[in-house]
Structure 1
């Protein structure tokens, strides 16, 4: 089953946690299939975000902790460690690029997930977009990135525009 990776930014540090509850409800209603998901919550004043893979709503081990650990390391932690470690991850980042996680993706997420915000990372399939949109009304999600085609991404942005 092919999936779509989307990253949704929320204007508060707890917004993604609220969205997880909505995502659970939507999945119970069979309006989306969540293959895997994770949250990054960044409190004001914190040096880095808290990250968590969501085991309780996803297919067991779809991507796994290694994927999420690597992704969150690239996004939030590697720049703090320095170039010595960063130079050693070139081969791994090549694999990530193959699935749409490239420099542009990393830059977008780094720029937009900042102290006081949060993000929900979702690998999903079979979403009923209009109904999923209804479920998230009032939560102010902003699509940061997706591996959808340009046409599919435009449709997703259109559905979620306020």
Structure 2
């Protein structure tokens, strides 16, 4: 079971920098993320989501490939690419992987304009090493599905508090 963590930052740039830290930790096999999305509240109170993967573009690329392949069989590769790209883009646009978009937009509506929320869906992590790496990165925990002990350790790490005995990592 995955754990959800939502952390508020004063800007998109700061949230993106922290997301990149988490992605680096994932490359080092210290954390396994199912999703990492940044939601920003604009000055006109709209919420814009910055997904890790652009499902529309991915769907269009995949659809183009399969459309080309099918089009070649019927000797109409250009038509196949066009139809495949359109259907793939539509499928990608309608797909919602990881954290529910509506949930992120609803939760982000409570923040101030200009602020950003980093949403992380954590499958598993080596808690002590991850918390040490993100120590002092700032941010305010908005919501988590972590137990109280783990949430406290996360809050302390973000604030840069001294290292305590950290709890066990969420497991897969």
Tell me whether the two structures share a fold, i.e. TM-score over 0.5: yes
Distance of 2:104 and 2:146 partners within structure 1: 21
Contact 1:40 1:51 in 2 (8 A): yes
Q: 2:120 aligns with which of 119, 122, 145?
A: 122
Kindly tell me the number of residue pairs found equivalent between the two proteins: 120
- State which of 47, 50, 54 in structure 2 corresponds to 1:49: 47
Deviation sequence 1:64-100 (CA, Å, 0-9, x none): 3495322134x1xxxxxxxxxxxxxxxxxxxxxxxxx
Cα offset, 1:137, TM superposition: 4.4
Q: Deviations over 1:98-151 (max 9, x none)?
A: xxxxxxxx4xx543x221211111110322233223433453122111011222
The equivalent residue for 1:71 is 103
Q: 2:122 aligns to what SS in structure 1? A: strand
In the superposition, relative to structure 1, how do residues 145 and 120 fare at CA in structure 2: closer, same or farther (>3 Å)? same
Q: Which residue of 2 aligns with 1:139?
A: 137
Aligned match of 2:21: 22
Q: Do the aligned partners of 1:11 and 1:140 also contact (CA within 8 Å) in 2?
A: no
What does residue 152 of structure 2 align with? 154
Partner of 1:33: 32
CA contact under 8 A between 2:41 and 2:109: conserved in structure 1? no
Where in structure 1 are there 5+ consecutive unaligned residues?
57-62, 76-105
**For 1:7, what is the secondary structure of its paired residue?**
strand
TM score, norm. by length of structure 2: 0.59
Larger of the two Rg values belongs to structure:
2
